[in-house]
């Protein structure tokens, strides 16, 4: 079955600002939706946006003597997938990403940033929170199924190669997440003026392998004045394909979220050394002014994985398998 006959993509945009209210289809554990809940929601959002702007101006210091030239506007991009069936068309929320837009207050220019940054996916929740535990149930050694991540990877590549993506975004996505706490990283002599010093890991993680099936490769950089390296997943050439301001938009946004959600690593009071292993057990760190329920956030991923299984994987299993078998991506 041809992909364009079975599936169609549709994009919805919503501004992420201090008035942001998560939509019904938004995964409630996403970095942005999780902040916009509870009594502290507006203060959380205001503080987060201030942290992003401050970090951006810290990195974009040239021709910026007051450190307030730039502001970052964020759009939440929700990608829905229409599935054609004999009974009509069903719509499933597939992924959510962030798009950065940079406002130069000196010139009044609005500069396109990078799409991607944060990455949320119901199917990935299903793979890691439902499928993987079931596969390893009652087994003495951990392993992944042979086809683990295949379907998700093909769906992602199909979206990135689609006309819908190309009509809305000028460049391929970059996804920026935390480094794996189970791996060791070694500092190299390679240094980029914006991304900072490069680290290399001792072996690839299950996340790296999962993102590789999405067509993405990874490099690890610790930006100036950061506590730990970030993982950048990308297509093409990370250092040549994007401008300094585009990269700063991604760093300032995603480092802020990591400081909030993983302060033990990204808001640590000392920086990564030549040989570094991130640890969530580190006690020498500072908390941000952001309030959220950490335990609830981890529990919800399982519920969202079940949602994907019941609403998407099981109902469309035959269509998905037929498409995946014939997919040339």
**Domain limits, the chain:** 3-326
Residue 57 has pLDDT above 80, yes or no: yes
pLDDT tens digit sequence for 236-270: 999 999 999 999 999 999 999 999 989 999 999 99
282 or 292: whose pLDDT is higher?
282
Q: CA-CA distance, 26 to 214, in Å (whole number)?
A: 22
Check residue 316 and give its pLDDT. Answer: 80
Q: 234 near 174, Cβ under 8 Å?
A: yes
Angle between helices 317-326 and 150-160 (to 10 degrees): 70
C-alpha to C-alpha distance for 115 and 250, rounded to whole angstroms? 9
Radius of gyration of the chain (CA): 20
pTM: 0.92
> What separation in angstroms does the CA of 21 have from each of 38, 136, 300?
11, 37, 18
* Closest listed residue to residue 236, CA positions, set 144, 316, 116: 116
Residues linked to residue 230 through DSSP beta bridges, in sequence order = 178, 221
Q: Is 181 helix (H, G, I), strand (E, B) or coil?
A: coil
**What is the H or E stretch that residue 90 is in?**
strand 88-104
What is the pLDDT, as a whole number, of residue 47? Answer: 93
Half-sphere exposure of 63 (CA within 13 A, CB side): 6
Query: Going edge to edge, which strands form the sheet with 196-201?
Result: 7-16, 70-85, 88-104, 109-121, 174-178, 230-234, 217-222, 196-201, 185-192, 275-276
Q: How many CB atoms lie within 10 A of CB 157?
A: 17
Q: Give 97-100's long-range contacts (Cβ < 8 A, gap of 24+).
A: 97/173, 97/175, 98/16, 98/32, 98/74, 98/253, 99/13, 99/74, 99/75, 99/169, 100/72, 100/73, 100/74, 100/246, 100/249, 100/250, 100/253
The mean-pLDDT minimum among 4-18, 148-162, 263-277 falls in 4-18
Is the predicted pLDDT of residue 295 greater than 80, yes or no?
A: no
Mean pLDDT (the chain) is 88
Q: What is the pLDDT of residue 198?
A: 98
**Listed range (21-25, 74-78, 221-225, 272-276) with the worst mean pLDDT:** 21-25
Residue bearing the bigger pLDDT, 136 or 319: 136
- Tokens 């950490």, residue located: 294
pLDDT at residue 291 in the model: 77
**What pairs with residue 117 in β-bridges?**
175
What average pLDDT does range 156-160 have in this prediction?
A: 93
Question: What pLDDT is recorded for position 1?
Answer: 33
Cα–Cα nearest to 235, from 329, 109, 121: 329
Task: Using pLDDT thresholds of 50, 70 and 90, give the confidence band for residue 301.
Answer: confident
> Do residues 248 and 59 touch, judged by C-beta distance below 8 A?
yes
């Amino acid at each position: 079955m041809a992909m364009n006959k079975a599936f169609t993509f549709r994009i919805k945009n919503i501004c992420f600002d201090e008035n942001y209210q998560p939509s019904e289809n938004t995964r409630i554990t996403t970095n942005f939706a999780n902040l916009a809940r509870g009594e502290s929601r507006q203060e959380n959002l205001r503080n987060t946006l201030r942290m992003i702007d401050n970090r951006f101006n810290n990195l974009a210091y040239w021709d910026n003597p007051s450190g307030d030239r730039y502001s970052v506007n964020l759009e939440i991009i929700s990608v829905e997938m229409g599935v054609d069936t004999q009974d009509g068309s069903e719509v499933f929320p597939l992924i959510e990403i962030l798009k950065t837009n940079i406002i130069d207050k000196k010139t009044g220019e609005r500069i396109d940033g990078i799409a991607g940054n944060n990455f949320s996916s119901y199917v990935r929740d299903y793979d890691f929170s439902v499928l993987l535990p079931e596969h390893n149930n009652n087994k003495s050694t951990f392993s992944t199924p042979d086809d683990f991540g295949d379907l998700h990877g093909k769906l992602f590549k199909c979206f990135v190669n689609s006309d819908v993506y190309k009509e809305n975004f000028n460049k391929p996505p970059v996804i920026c997440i935390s480094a794996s706490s189970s791996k060791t990283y070694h500092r190299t002599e390679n240094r980029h003026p914006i991304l900072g010093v490069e680290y290399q890991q001792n072996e690839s993680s299950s996340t790296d392998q999962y993102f590789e099936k999405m067509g993405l490769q990874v490099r690890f950089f610790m930006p100036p004045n950061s506590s730990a390296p970030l993982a950048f997943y990308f297509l093409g050439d990370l250092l040549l394909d994007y401008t300094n301001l585009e990269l700063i938009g991604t760093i300032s946004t995603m480092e802020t979220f990591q400081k909030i959600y993983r302060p033990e690593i990204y808001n640590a009071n000392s920086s990564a050394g030549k040989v570094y292993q991130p640890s969530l057990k580190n006690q020498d760190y500072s908390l941000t002014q952001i309030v959220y329920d950490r335990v609830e956030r981890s529990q919800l991923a399982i519920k969202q994985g079940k949602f994907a299984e019941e609403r998407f994987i099981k109902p469309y299993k035959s269509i998905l398998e037929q498409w995946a078998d014939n997919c040339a991506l």
